[in-house]
Chain A
Amino acid sequence: MATILEDSKFNPDQKLKVVGTNPVKHDGPDKVTGRAKFGADMYLPGMLFGKILRSPHAHAILKSIDTSAAEALPGVNAVATRDDFPELQAGTPGGDLSRNIMAREKVLYDGHPVAAVAATSESIARRALKLIKVEYEILPHVIDPVEAMQPGAPILHSHLRTKGVEGAQDTPTNVVERLVCEMGDVEKGFAAADFIVEGEYDSKPMHQSYIEPQGCVASASQDGQIELYCCTQGIHVFRDRIGEILKIDSAKIRVSQSEMGGGFGGKTSPYAEPVAAVLSRKSARPVKIVLTRNEVFRCTGPVSATKSKIKMGCTKDGKITAAQADLVFQTGAFTGSMFFNGPWAMFTRYALDNIHTVACEVVSNRPKVNAFRAPCVPQIVFGVEALVSEMANKVGMDQIDFRLKNAAKEGDTTVFGQTFERIGFVETLEAAKQTDHYKSKLPEGWGRGVSTGFWFNRDGDTTGSLTITPGGSVTIMVGTSDVAGSRISLSMMAAEELGVPVEKVRAILSDTAMMGNNRVTAGSRTTYSAGMVIVDSARQAIAEMCRRAAEIWGVPVEGVEFVDGAVHPSSSNVGEFEPMSIAEIAAKTSVSHGAISGHTEMNVTGAGPGFGVHLVDCEVDRGTGRVDIKRYTVIEDAGKAIHPLQVEGQYQGGAIQGVGWALNEEYIYGEDGRLQNPGFLDYRIPVASDVPMVDTVIVEVPNPRHPYGLRGVGEVPVTPTLGAVGNAIGDAIGIRPTSLPMSPPKILKLLKDAGLNTN
């Protein structure tokens, strides 16, 4: 049987009953009553509490670790250090992960784990940590990525040589990779330009700042099996990577997922989970580790700091002729920033013939960066959209018209080699132009910014199953995680396929033993990919129900069809039979061929790219440099909104995360290389009173590859935000900021230097 990837394209004529409505999500009632179990909410009999000792130094040789006093403390059941982790080759993915989880030769950032204990209480575990003696040989450190690239900078990894550079390299470097992306001929493109604009931009790391710190319980048994309960964006990835670094067969590790209190990319890789597993093996008891907020800031996440130098040119009638960029991405102590997303996505909203970018990924003495909604894209788009706005102004065109004139369309080829199928950027821009917001007159003294954003949207390995109960209701199971309500969206698609009310469908998240491999729940892939899998499973179940009915009726299977939740004879020629509902067929499974189900594994393809436009009005206090966001509208193509309220929530949440990053969020380091603001008091994410309501417009240009036309919506809403806020500030004060975050001291300085500050 062909799978849905080949034979089930989007059908524009279907009449939808469930998709597009807003039922209460399955996980909702437990979450409003406190019943929902998150990572830290699991308690097992005999459980110990684990705590991790962390380096106070940004860069040091780990000379010795003496754990004897800690081991002797009553109540301490296990102590773990580097000696409890198999030595994997440095510079390999496993070697890097292992060294990030427990430092081996050196500590590479403030907060790098050096030892861990498991004790009968948290208080004893904390006391035990103080008894561990660690001898460090402190080395010079480097925080800033550009400084890390200079000759003579402190070297983090002696084995590192730059990928993408021709010729032999004798000396170690901090530059992991140099990536050139190009199409056409930029020199020719700039020669054809009437206006050339350029700028230099920089950004600091921001943290995903999920409100739930990572929490897990590991339970190892004497036969080598490990059960791990944790909050994760990828149960299978956690299983496989933990297996890799602890040299345990994957099948012996069973990872179950808790509810997840926010991830945004930051829970795609393990931190404390393998440590808990090691402590549990050593103590033969379950071990729980919950990170503190301080640990979350110092050791998990954040996103890449960047420097970018961007140049663009256009003709006087507003056609962009060339775009060029030099980009630096800080990846923290280990590679893995996914920096290639930056050069691939930065100009991709526009149909350009001539592009040349050089991007470098650089290690420095900071925590290894992790994914965050559209990794490495928003902070680069910040600069691109400054220049696009500047070009529109130079040409004298309306901001949206300028972008429309250059907008990418179906058939355009991108710098990363994809030729777009049907995309909705033009429709999104046109919808933005029609909003009340854009048409409204800007109040005196405010500024208005426009920016656009793009994300590829991902797909990939996905598994799912669907079972019909004897009573005719439906259980679905997926191996993906639910980061923001995918269970209800998947249930809605199953209900639509089966012609049953969504209340009849219940979605369950599997553990690693129940389902085959899944890619991480990230990249805006899950509702799309798991949706494909669940629709396919539903169609398998429908085919089976048709076969059962044909057998009961004694007619050929071609003579039956499934319509509106029941099997009917496909014509009167087949015979006169009363339609059989799902419940009627399901009630007979014990006298036919057993349960009816569908089960699908798929390497899903066909995720439709997403585009968005953000409109921001702001007011700038010219005495203090403080920026007040007054009005915000997100316009974005969802392909098809399965659950519109959830899609709006993605748009709104993404926008406000971006506002925080644009205005205040940053990692601040002292001269000693220590993080100065590892807490929510000084790492300033937006609070409710900081922001306005966020209006949304859901544009629906169906993805031709999906039965309901959906596109991912998780990442796009962050990509334009920094650019939009920057452009709004630029419009308000006449100077476009180039450095993120655009915090009050920086804005006041811009105002003062231009003589524009007032009381």
Chain B
Amino acid sequence: MTGLRYEAPENLNAAMALLGGAEGSARVMAGGTDLIIQIDNEMIEPDLLVDIKNIKEMRSIDQVDGGYRVGAAVTGMELMEHEGFCATWPGVIEGVSLIGSIQVKGRATVGGNVCNSSPAADSPPPLIAAGATATIVGPNGSRDIPVEDIAVGPGKTSLAKGEIVVAFNFAKRPAHSGEAYQRFTPRTEMDIAVVGVGVNLTLDGDGTCIAARVCLGAVAATALLVDEAAATLIGTKVDEAALDNLAKAASAACRPIDDKRGTIEFRTDVAGVLARRVALVALERARKN
């Protein structure tokens, strides 16, 4: 690393220009909590760091059409301190609150957590379960895509060169809906998910599930949106039989690896157990909404 350069533009256009005009490799830096470690360990050797934290529109949390727009460079702590968002999307907050220590969350951003594309990241499963979309800005303009379409593999995204995720969009939450996220880790904190499960469901007036999204983390190369698991809940009262089917469907969807953090067997088993537990929390929240 002989000439690492650092720039902190104050608007998106300047950021685009830096990323587009860079010779060598340029990296977007949001919280930097993954990036700085990667540089320190010489896993990456970029020539330019574009710090996006000074770009106002990427730092704000706004109510839009009854929903929320969360800037991609909003830190974990900032989002966790937003009372309105916390009340509406408690499952997303559960994921964000597990991104790391208080210190790490003081820096780490949702955008960074998503774009780092770790299969075990804690915010993607609840974001995906919530049906959130990402607004992406690049040399060819702006587009919105579902969050599940961002990561394509460990450390890899579908973003083109020069593109930045600028915000996440959450639609207005329907009545009688609730979501939740839990992960399994050996420790209570400071750990990487061995399995993570986000469940978002909507009930009708009678308590029958009319919509559901189930997303599993850390059991495949990317977070998995599992339609088969959601289908086990839709049309049911989320009773024991439905939960058993959900657990089976969640386990069946797992395509994990054996590694230092968990075995295939363990991840598969725990995915089912957690899916059931998380669905019960989401159900409880939906009933109160």
Contact = CB atoms under 8 A, between A and B. Distances in A.
A/B touching: CB–CB < 8 A: yes
Interface of A: 123, 126-127, 623-626, 663-664, 668, 676-677, 680-682, 684, 686-687, 689-690, 743-745, 748-749, 752, 757, 759
A391 to B, nearest CB: 31
B227 interface: no
A681 B190 contact: yes
Interface in B240-263: 243, 247, 259-263
Contacts of A127: 1
A454 B93 CA distance: 47
B187 A687 contact: yes
Nearest to B194: A744
B277 interface: yes
A682 B260 contact: yes
Given A626-B186, A663-B186, A748-B266, A684 B273 contact: no
Contacts of B269: 748, 752, 757
Contact of B188 (A123, A681, A687, A749): A687
Given A623-B270, A624-B270, A681-B192, A743 B186 contact: yes
Contacts of B262: 745
A689 B1 CA distance: 39
B285 interface: no
B190 to A, nearest CB: 5
B216 to A, nearest CB: 15
Contacts of B144: none
Given A624-B184, A677-B260, A745 B266 contact: yes
A623 B191 contact: no
8 contacts: A126-B42, A682-B260, A686-B187, A687-B187, A744-B184, A744-B266, A748-B269, A749-B266
B270 A664 contact: no
A143 B188 CA distance: 30
A62 to B, nearest CB: 23
A92 to B, nearest CB: 37
A759 B277 contact: yes
A744 B277 contact: no
Contact of B277 (A126, A623, A625, A748): A623
Contact of B273 (A623, A677, A680, A749): A623
A687 B269 CA distance: 26
A624 to B, nearest CB: 5
Contacts of B188: 687, 689-690
B7 interface: no
8 closest A-B pairs by CB: A623-B273, A745-B266, A689-B188, A676-B260, A668-B260, A664-B186, A687-B190, A689-B189
Nearest to A623: B273
B59 interface: no
A740 to B, nearest CB: 14
Nearest to B192: A681
Given A624-B184, A748-B269, 18 more contacts: A623-B270, A623-B273, A668-B260, A676-B259, A676-B260, A677-B260, A681-B190, A681-B191, A681-B192, A682-B192, A684-B186, A690-B187, A690-B189, A744-B194, A745-B262, A748-B266, A749-B266, A757-B269
A75 to B, nearest CB: 12
Given A623-B273, A624-B270, A744 B189 contact: no
Nearest to A682: B260
B276 interface: yes
Nearest to A676: B260
Contacts of B263: 745
A681 B33 CA distance: 13
Nearest to A294: B41
Nearest to A683: B260
A759 B276 contact: yes
B187 A624 contact: no
Contacts of B247: 759
Interface string B165-204: 0000000000000000000101111111010000000000
A460 to B, nearest CB: 38
Contact of A664 (B187, B259, B276): B187
B230 to A, nearest CB: 19
Contacts of A684: 186-187, 191
Nearest to B184: A624
Nearest to B195: A624
A680 B189 CA distance: 12
Contacts of B184: 624, 626, 744
Contacts of B274: 623-624
A713 B137 CA distance: 62
A625 B184 CA distance: 10
B187 A744 contact: no
Nearest to B273: A623
Interface string B110-127: 000000000000000000
A642 B6 CA distance: 55
- The winner among A745, A748, A757 for most chain B CB atoms within 10 A is A745
- The winner among B186, B188, B265, B274 for most chain A CB atoms within 10 A is B186
Contacts of B259: 676
Interface string B1-21: 100000000000000000000
Interface in B271-289: 273-274, 276-277
Nearest to B244: A759
Contacts of B277: 623, 759
Nearest to B188: A689
Contact of A687 (B42, B189, B192, B265): B189
Given A682-B192, A744-B266, A759-B247, A624 B273 contact: yes
Contacts of B1: 123, 127
A298 to B, nearest CB: 13
B179 to A, nearest CB: 20
Contacts of B192: 681-682
B69 to A, nearest CB: 32
Contacts of A676: 259-260
A604 to B, nearest CB: 41
Contacts of B276: 759
Contacts of B42: 126
- The winner among B189, B194, B266 for most chain A CB atoms within 10 A is B266
A680 B260 CA distance: 13
Contacts of A682: 192, 260-261
Contacts of A686: 187
Contacts of A687: 187-190
B40 to A, nearest CB: 9
Contacts of A745: 262-263, 265-266
A383 to B, nearest CB: 23
A745 B266 CA distance: 6
A623 B197 CA distance: 15
A119 B269 CA distance: 52
B284 to A, nearest CB: 16
Nearest to B275: A759
Contacts of A624: 184, 270, 273-274
A127 to B, nearest CB: 8
Contacts of B243: 759
- The winner among A126, A624, A752, A757 for most chain B CB atoms within 10 A is A624
A526 to B, nearest CB: 32
A743 B263 CA distance: 12
B2 to A, nearest CB: 8
Contacts of B194: 744
- The winner among A663, A743, A744 for most chain B CB atoms within 10 A is A744
Contacts of A752: 269
Contacts of A689: 188-189
A207 to B, nearest CB: 15
A623 to B, nearest CB: 4
Nearest to B191: A684
Nearest to A626: B186
A677 B192 CA distance: 12
B196 to A, nearest CB: 13
